Amino acid sequence: MALNRVHLVGRAGLDPEMKYFESGKMVCNFTLAVNRRTSNRDEPPDWFDLEMWDKTAEVAKNYVKKGKEIGVIGSLRIESWRDRTTGEERSKPVIRVDQLVLLRSRRDSEGSSDYRDDF
């Protein structure tokens, strides 16, 4: 049995960047900062590159801003390419998001109750 599922909760590192294709498809990319479960608050977060398509991308474009807390469920894939300047093979892990959960932003948590929408 093969299983490739990733569940993460963190804060958007940037506003989502959208790309539109002639076919009508759209893709959204941005980073997610995830704190580790340690008692050391000085430890930096782990950063993940996220990729969302179509309806999920549109929701991210409309509702996710830098600093917004979100949850994502998706799969891990390794993106590979050849560096144009050095010619070396490069790769990076990317989370392809199937489900986006909007949680509270820092501003939302100052005066409202829990907010959660699943897309």
Per-residue pLDDT tens over the stretch 46-77: 999 999 999 999 999 999 999 999 999 999 99
| pLDDT tens-digit map of 23-43 | 999 999 999 999 987 767 788
pLDDT band at 119 (very low <50, low <70, confident <90, very high): very low
Mean pLDDT rounded to a whole number for the chain: 88
| Residue 53 burial by Cβ neighbours in a 10 Å radius (0-12, 13-18, 19+) | middle
Three-state SS at 25: coil
Distance CA 61, CA 100 (A): 12
- Asked if 43 and 36 count as a contact pair (C-beta separation under 8 A), the reply is yes
CATH architecture classification, 6-36+44-118:
Beta Barrel (2.40)
pLDDT at 110: 55
Is 16 in contact with 60 (CB distance < 8 Å)?
yes
pLDDT: which is higher, 111 or 95:
95
Q: Is the pTM of this model over 0.95?
A: no
More confident residue, 73 or 113: 73
Short-list 69, 73, 71, CA closest to 104: 69
Residue 111 DSSP code: T
The secondary structure of residue 45, as a DSSP letter, is P
The single residue listed with the structure tokens 């501003």 is: 107
